Structure 1
Amino acid sequence: MRWWPALQVLALHFVLLMGLERKVALPERVASYPAQLLGLLRPEVFTQVGPQVLLTGAYLLGGLLLAWFLVVGLARWGRAALWFMEGIPPFLLLVLGGWAGVTYTVSRGLDFPLTPWSPVMLGLYTASLALPVAARVALATGQVRREALDADYTRTARAMGLPEKTVQVQARRVALPERAAGLGGDALALALALVIMEGILQFPGLGNSVYIALQGTLSGTGDAVARAGTDDLLPQQTLSAALLLWLLLGSLATLFLQWLAAQLDPRPRSGEEMH
């Protein structure tokens, strides 16, 4: 069903928004949802969250790209090390990276660049997001690669004189779809981790927009929420827009990586002939 992913995003958005506004009576929350959903079309809402989605999207894209390439290097590590690395919380990695950066720069009389688009912040965010996911995907792709090397068709190819280098290349090719699918399965979780980190650190991004809007929502009253069409609804609309854009970022990344996994799959598709 073509519209099913969009309906899933809207359903999750509705559930999250209803759950975050628990101080307001449920009928009022449901009644105000259409106005909150359309809040992204208001210039004052879009002006606030539009630039933030670019920053959060850049961090997410950077994390996914870094994880893609890290999988290659981590595939050589032992499984025990990968199990340990996949369990490290991204926030802890970010804090450790920030501490190391501050220690290194301040001790030398330098200013630590913490502006949103600085290379240091881009590097810290993307690395903290990528490392645990890359370790988890490396475990999965390593298993697929080993299964491909132990498969009957691989033994047959070796018996027929196929060079070992070619066998290894084909095994890695078989594991490529698993790499894309594994990252796709973690894309929404990566986006959530990123938003949480931005909110906790109050660093520019969708997470900070969610945090600020949520504070305004919680400080309001049910009557204010019910008065749709007034400026009293602005915090709710900003919260709704930030949540929706976060879900769209994670969902689009997931859909793209799922599509990429299908394209990288070396097995013939239905209706195709093997050459």
Structure 2
Amino acid sequence: MRWWPALQVLALHFVLLMGLERKVALPERVALYPAQLLGLLRPEVFTEVGPQALLTGTYLLGGLGLAWLLVTLLSRWARPLLWFMEGIPPFLLLALGVWAGVTFTVARGLDFPLTPWSPVMLGLYTASLALPVAARVALATGQVRREALDADYTRTARAMGLPEARVQAQARRVALPERAAGLGGDALGLALALVIMEGLLQFPGLGNSVYLALQGALSGAGDTVSSAADPLAQQTLAAALLLWLLLGVLATLFYQGLAARLDPRPRSGEEVH
């Protein structure tokens, strides 16, 4: 179904928003939802969340792109090291990077840029998101590549005199769809990790707005963030949530489509040459 992903996003958005607005009676929350959903079209709301979406999207897509490049490098590392790397929380890597930057620059009288668009922070964010998922995908693609090299068709190709370089190249090609599918499967999780990272550092991305709302709701102070008497705050939160989900889902769909395109097996209706 062509509209199924959009319906899933709206359903998740509805559930999340209803959970955040706990200070408002449930019937009122449901009645206000259409206006909150359309709030993204208001200029004052879009002016608030548009730059946030641009920043968050840059971090997320940069991390996924860097992870794609890192998989090839990490696939040569020992599996125990990859098992360790995939379990490292992205925020811990970011915190270590910020600590190292502050230690070796500010302490020596130099400037350590903590502004969201600085190259240092862009690099730290994307690397923090990329390393754990790249290690996880490298483990999966390495397994697929080894299975391809051990398959009967590979042994037959070698017996018929196919050069080893061609055999290895074909095995890597077989593993490419697994790389794309693995990154697509992690895209929404990376978006959630980004929410936490932006919120804790109070970077002006979508995660900061969402994280503040979550923090207020969990602490019982949700009415300071979302109140029935403040429709602009409600619409801003709804827009930030929606754009955050859309970024994660669009990245997922992109890599799922890429995995299908990279699959070397013939698709239905195609001729095998």
Q: TM-score range by the shorter chain?
A: over 0.9
Deviation at 1:210, TM superposition (A): 2.1
After superposition, where does 1:101-120 map in structure 2 within 5 Å? 101-120=101-120
Give, in whole Å, the separation in 2 of the partners of 1:187 and 1:267.
Answer: 25
- In the other structure, the counterpart of 1:253 is 251
- In the other structure, the counterpart of 2:242 is 244
- In the other structure, the counterpart of 1:218 is 222
After superposition, where does 1:202-217 map in structure 2 within 5 Å? 202-212=202-212, 215=216
8 Å contact 2:63–2:126 — kept in the other structure?
yes
Secondary structure of residue in 2 paired with 1:34: helix
Give, in whole Å, the separation in 2 of the partners of 1:145 and 1:254.
Answer: 23
Residue 175 of structure 2 is aligned to residue 171 of structure 1? no
Give, in whole Å, the separation in 1 of the partners of 2:116 and 2:16.
Answer: 27
Report runs of 4+ in structure 1 exceeding 4 Å deviation. Answer: 212-217
TM-score, normalised to structure 2, is: 0.95
Summarize the Cα distance change of 1:220–1:108 in structure 2 as closer, same or farther, 3 Å threshold: closer
Give, in whole Å, the separation in 1 of the partners of 2:107 and 2:197.
Answer: 26
- In the other structure, the counterpart of 1:22 is 22
8 Å contact 1:213–1:236 — kept in the other structure?
no
Instruction: Give the root-mean-square deviation of aligned CA atoms.
Output: 1.6
8 Å contact 1:213–1:235 — kept in the other structure?
no
TM-score, normalised to structure 1, is: 0.94
- In the other structure, the counterpart of 2:262 is 264
8 Å contact 1:184–1:255 — kept in the other structure?
yes
8 Å contact 2:195–2:207 — kept in the other structure?
yes
Deviation at 1:30, TM superposition (A): 0.9
Give, in whole Å, the separation in 2 of the partners of 1:193 and 1:220.
Answer: 24
For structure 1, the 5+ residue unaligned runs are: none
Deviation at 1:209, TM superposition (A): 2.1
Secondary structure of residue in 2 paired with 1:23: coil
Give, in whole Å, the separation in 1 of the partners of 2:224 and 2:131.
Answer: 40
Secondary structure of residue in 2 paired with 1:51: helix
Amino acid corresponding to residue 2 of structure 2 in structure 1: R
Summarize the Cα distance change of 1:164–1:115 in structure 2 as closer, same or farther, 3 Å threshold: same
Give, in whole Å, the separation in 1 of the partners of 2:22 and 2:136.
Answer: 35
Q: Deviations over 1:229-272 (max 9, x none)?
A: xxx21111111000000000001101111111111111111111
After superposition, where does 1:35-74 map in structure 2 within 5 Å? 35-74=35-74
Question: Which has the higher mean CA deviation after the structures are superposed, 25-34 or 87-96?
Answer: 25-34
